[in-house]
Amino acid sequence: MCAAFELCGNASSVHAEGRAARALLDAARAEMAAFAGTVPKNVVFTSGGTEALNLVLTPYIETSGEKSNPFGLLLAGAGEHPAVLAGHRFAPTQLELIGLTPSGVLDLEALDRSVALASAAGHRVMLAVQAANNETGVLQPVAAAAERIHAAGGFLVCDAVQAAGKIPCDIGSLGADAIVFSAHKFGGPKGAGALCFCPGSYHIKNVLLRGGGQEGGLRAGTENIAGIAGMAAAVVAAKVRLGELTTALSFWRDEMEAEIAHALPGAVFFGAGAQRLPNTSCFALPSIEAQLLLMALDVEGFAVSSGSACSSGKVKRSHVLSAMGAEPELAWGAIRVSLGWNSHREDCVSFVQALVRIVKSIRARRDKPAA
């Protein structure tokens, strides 16, 4: 990124400085394409996952150069990120949520019913589904959902923001038509992201940013060269460390949960019965509010969250846990603990020790007889 900041040229210019910026942009696009399992021309750089989802969630996507009827229905898992649940260019009446199982997995039987009804009504269907849930870490059955959607002539958008850098996110293996990334989730800078289409030809009739025609006409505006360079560098690093990191984080997370369950009986770990990202643990302790835990852990030097960090400064009941059928009291008390590429086993040990001290202190104060 530091080297990119030294490039003063605009990547759309033909002079030497512009060509240098273009070369860096092209190299970054090739790295993102290799990471996503597609071709460079099908990578659209954005400001992050939210913008990418705003761009792609539209009824007006044409594929393979063929003009077709607009998509009439957007299906989305009930536990999707708020950036998906907003529906974007689909009208509120065109958005239908698909429920989750108690383990936090997209209900494929419910999906089958919705697709069948939509097809009978003559609607083309788009499905938006996460590769992994951003609160529980539960992996979603993207490939199985893609089979169902494609059999009905539909289109699948995979939100891989939370999963990238932690598990493989190849668009072909997932069966997705489009996949979304955000750089800061795998070690890159905030404010950079990408929308990648699988190999083929795509056209969005109602793009969000109109202007100079950058990014294949899908996202106008001078490219954020430094941010894009940082994202590409992070992609390279993520691919190198993927296997080793996955093994270590999964072991530490499981060990941490076992220690919490032993020291604090009654702890509930959401999604523990399903396949999860290796770094994520979402749990609650009966009668302990999330807000108390967040503040106390912050004092101890641990930054954890309640639900999605994107709901800035808010501690509220998780719509994901509600969709899983969690008891309201537990849902209010849920916190998410995430490990990363710079985490160590000692961090997990210290966290458990701090958590146990905090919970015992809260319970002692709560149970102390009134004077």
Query: Given 8, 158, 282, 310, which residue is catalytic?
Result: 310
What CA–CA distances, in Å, run from 116 to 9, 68, 92, 169, 174?
52, 20, 20, 28, 22
Q: Count CB neighbours of 318 within 10 A.
A: 25
8 Å CB contact between 140 and 131: yes
How many alpha carbons fall within 13 Å on the CB side of residue 319? Answer: 14
Q: Please give the Cα distance from 101 to 78 (Å, whole number).
A: 10
Contacts 24+ apart (CB under 8 A), 349-358: 349/259, 351/256, 351/297, 351/302, 352/256, 352/259, 352/260, 352/263, 354/297, 354/300, 354/302, 355/260, 355/264, 355/293, 355/297, 356/260, 356/263, 356/264, 358/293, 358/296, 358/297, 358/300
Of 166, 128, 359, 346, give the one whose Cα is nearest residue 247.
Answer: 166
The neighbouring-strand residues paired with 305 are: 336
Instruction: Quote the DSSP letter at residue 164.
Output: B
Non-local (6+) Cβ contacts of 365 within 8 A are none
Q: Helix, strand, or coil here: 136?
A: coil
| β-pair partners for 193 | 46, 182
* Residue 316 CA from chain centroid, whole number: 19
Rg (CA), the chain: 22
Active site residue 310: yes
Burial class (CB in 10 A: 0-12, 13-18, 19+), 280: buried
In angstroms, rounded to a whole number, what is the distance separating the alpha carbons of residues 308 and 86? 15
Query: Which residues participate in catalysis according to the annotation?
Result: 310
